Structure 1
Amino acid sequence: MILAVDGGATKTVALLFDEESFKIKGVGLAGSSNFAVVGERKAEESLRKAISEAEGDKADKAVFCLAGIGDSEEDTKRGIDLVRRIFLNSQVFNDGVGAYRATNLFEDGGVFAPGTGSVAFYQKNGESHRVGGWSWIFGDEGSASWIAKTAITYATRVVDGIEESSELPKAIEEYFKLPFREAVIRLSKDQDKRLIASFAVMVDSLAMKGDPLALRVMNEAADYIVRMIDRLRKEGGKVSVIGGVMNSKIIRSVVSPLGVEIFYSYQAVLGGIVLAGVKMSFEERNKLAKELTEKIYNLPEEELKSYLFINPKLKNSET
């Protein structure tokens, strides 16, 4: 029995996998376990919650793929110490490594992961390389935090009379339940990446309705994703995209014609199974991805809305 955990800035996904039957036995969801952002105590709470829901105490071995691992020597040590307080004999990797194994298994190629933040990895001649992931202040382009942050910046221009009319300022007031200026100042002071990133769903919704500035933001995000795909293709091999931003129909309409394989953010947890040494074909991986989706959508609706920002009613749709 294998416990696989994928922990990022927005959510934590845990699953229990029975290698003998090749079936997923349990799935759990929780909030952020990016210890570098929310702190070790809150990260540990999220990890334990997700693992408990997945019945991870039944596991014989575990693989954790967490944001923050590999960012610095100090962060890596903190992350490993945190994980081994929960499951002593475990392997620990960066969440981008898990996303790569989930999408490309052990073949050369690349993956771009636009979620709350964004980072890319490619493997060439068996060696792994990182691209992007420069933090949400200087990077994370194409991600939910970048979409929301850029939209809020554009909204300040609307209020200042620099940009054309847009519903973004009103949407910010309604979403954060504060007058516009107070909302911007509060968000600037608190710097809650997950909270800010969650507003990307509203930006996408306004863009779908034709709001010019919201649409500009989503198109800029799509353009960056396309450029990153082109960058990864220069290294050869199959290129995949995985992350919550791919829930956007606008983004998907631009990316889908490029012929890349698209995955949803929670499917990155399958990389932990691969890293645990389970051999599988792409066809077997696809079956597991489908099985995982079915189990995810059977979780409580509030968890889906809180951690994945998706509507449970979309179960039978493309999303």
Structure 2
Amino acid sequence: MTRDALFLGIDGGGSGCRAAVADAAGRILGEGKGGPANVVSDPDTAFASVLAAAWGAMAAAGEGDDLGRLVAVLGLAGANVAEAAVAFRARLPFASARVENDVTVAVKGALGVEDGIVAAIGTGAIYGTQRGGRVRLAGGWGLILGDHGSGARMGRDLYEAALLAHDGFIAQTPLLAGILREMRSPDAIVAFARRAGPADFARAAPRVLAAAGDPAADRILADADAAIARALDHLEADGAIPIIFSGGLGATFAARLGHRYPTLVRPAKGSALDGALAMARDLVQDPAA
């Protein structure tokens, strides 16, 4: 590896991705941003987002646009699906690259070498447990089959509840009436849902949070609380270890659920980008890592 070797770390989720370029000493030289980066639900958009973020980081570092110089570790949503991760890696222009789930790099950044659980709650919901240096992932199977407690699931539940209220199956509330009024018709909600991806549904999550006190919002939030707590209780069954909440909704659920785990919730040591960059530098020392 030459003295001017550069390392790229990428943290990509369902709503956007961030990149950082660092030198061999770990000094960050530049950062960039891109759009959604889920390699399962929309790999083409993820590829464009990764390139945009990488080019942005290189430009900010004053290093030009030659991505072929980079040793990269990418933590991307959906990369726990091995087939998708392998196919995505084959498209990358970097000197060498490793594609991991975004929670794997979050675990390495948040915990370093210590044991713990990272609950990554954002557009999706996935958990990473590190015990004795081994990382195991749970959840994160996407909106259709999983991601309970996520922003996408909360948004989906909101639109579903609006339709149920329209049909009279549940009580109408100000939140649900507002959704129906803005969408103009139940048919419009169905049309939106047919074309929407996880990030589209997740954009409604802040509205649910802002409407706390509305019976519909409270039901959706209670369901999210229960799903996340159920996952954490399961992961703690092998012995109590620290819990770190991350992702766009991490702080929200740390506050909502902290009373359940008063001695376990901790701040992260570092970011997912820190974890990705550390793993990228490890690739040079141990290419098989």
TM range (shorter): 0.7 to 0.9
Q: Which string of whole-angstrom CA distances, capped at 9 and with x for unpartnered residues, describes residues 212-233 of structure 1?
A: 1112211221222222222222
Question: Take 1:267 and 1:164, find their aligned partners in 2: how far apart are those partners?
Answer: 42
Query: Per-residue deviation at 1:143?
Result: 0.4
* 8 Å Cα contact 2:245-2:254 kept in structure 1: no
Q: Tell me the equivalent position of 1:256.
A: 258
Q: Which string of whole-angstrom CA distances, capped at 9 and with x for unpartnered residues, describes residues 142-198 of structure 1?
A: 100111111222222221222223123344357xx5313133211232132211111
Q: Tell me the equivalent position of 1:81.
A: 90
Question: Take 1:15 and 1:213, find their aligned partners in 2: how far apart are those partners?
Answer: 40
Question: Take 1:160 and 1:110, find their aligned partners in 2: how far apart are those partners?
Answer: 41
**1:16 has 2:21 as partner:** yes
Amino acid at match of 1:161: G
Query: Per-residue deviation at 1:277?
Result: 4.0
Amino acid at match of 1:211: D
Query: Per-residue deviation at 1:128?
Result: 2.5
Question: Take 1:91 and 1:45, find their aligned partners in 2: how far apart are those partners?
Answer: 17
Q: Tell me the equivalent position of 2:285.
A: none
Q: Tell me the equivalent position of 1:283.
A: none
Query: Per-residue deviation at 1:200?
Result: 0.7
Of the three residues 122, 126, 134, the one matched with 2:129 is 122
Question: Take 2:47 and 2:145, find their aligned partners in 1: how far apart are those partners?
Answer: 27
**1:238 has 2:247 as partner:** no
**1:62 has 2:65 as partner:** no
Question: Take 1:29 and 1:47, find their aligned partners in 2: how far apart are those partners?
Answer: 8
Q: How does 1:114-263 map to 2 (within 5 A)?
A: 114-173=121-180, 178-207=183-212, 210-236=213-239, 237-248=241-252, 251-257=253-259, 258=261, 259-262=264-267
* 8 Å Cα contact 1:187-1:196 kept in structure 2: no
SS in 2 for 1:37: coil
CA change 1:39–1:76 in 2 (3 A) is closer
Amino acid at match of 1:71: V
Amino acid at match of 1:163: I
Question: Take 2:8 and 2:149, find their aligned partners in 1: how far apart are those partners?
Answer: 30
Question: Take 1:255 and 1:80, find their aligned partners in 2: how far apart are those partners?
Answer: 37
* 8 Å Cα contact 1:124-1:235 kept in structure 2: no
* 8 Å Cα contact 2:119-2:250 kept in structure 1: no
Question: Take 2:185 and 2:53, find their aligned partners in 1: how far apart are those partners?
Answer: 35
**1:269 has 2:269 as partner:** no
Q: Which string of whole-angstrom CA distances, capped at 9 and with x for unpartnered residues, describes residues 89-120 of structure 1?
A: 12221212111111112222222211111111
Quick check: 51-60 or 97-106, which moved more? 51-60
Q: Which runs of 5+ in 1 are unaligned?
A: 279-319
* 8 Å Cα contact 1:108-1:238 kept in structure 2: yes
**1:6 has 2:11 as partner:** yes
Amino acid at match of 1:52: W
Q: Tell me the equivalent position of 2:38.
A: 34
Pairs aligned (count): 265
Amino acid at match of 1:154: A
* 8 Å Cα contact 2:24-2:281 kept in structure 1: no
* 8 Å Cα contact 2:71-2:95 kept in structure 1: no
